[in-house]
Every structure is written in C-alpha cells, then in structure tokens.
Amino acid sequence: MKILLLLIPLSLAFLAGAIWLFFWAVNNGQFDDLDTPGLLPLDDAPRHKEPPP
C-alpha cells in the first residue's frame, strides 16, 4: 500500500492544477458567452483586409 503515498499526493497535485486552470479560464472570459462561439468555425480569413474609406 506504500504506493498510495506517491499516488495520492500526485492526484491532489493534478486536482490543484485542474482547478487552477479552470479558474484561469473563467477569469479570462472563456465561459462568459456560451452561445456565440458556435459561429467561430465559420470565420474564414477575411478576403479584404482594409475597409473601404
């Protein structure tokens, strides 16, 4: 059962990492709008870079 002494801290470290990552994502607005990004795959590279005057 000694392996637990390695595996448990490891799992806790993973857990802390996952929560930190999630907090980072939330604070960066990744979850603010869950409706709009459904359109993002349709975003082709713009054909005209400069807008007309």
25 and 31 Cβ atoms separated by less than 8 Å: yes
Q: Which residues 6-45 are close enough to bind other proteins by CB under 8 A?
A: 8, 11-12, 15, 18-19, 22-23, 26-27, 29, 31-36, 38-39, 42-44
HSE of 28 in the Cβ direction (CA atoms, 13 Å)? 7
**3 touches other proteins (CB under 8 A):** no
Cα gap 3→9, rounded to integer Å? 10
Which chain residues interact with other proteins by CB under 8 A?
A: 1, 4, 8, 11-12, 15, 18-19, 22-23, 26-27, 29, 31-36, 38-39, 42-44, 46-52
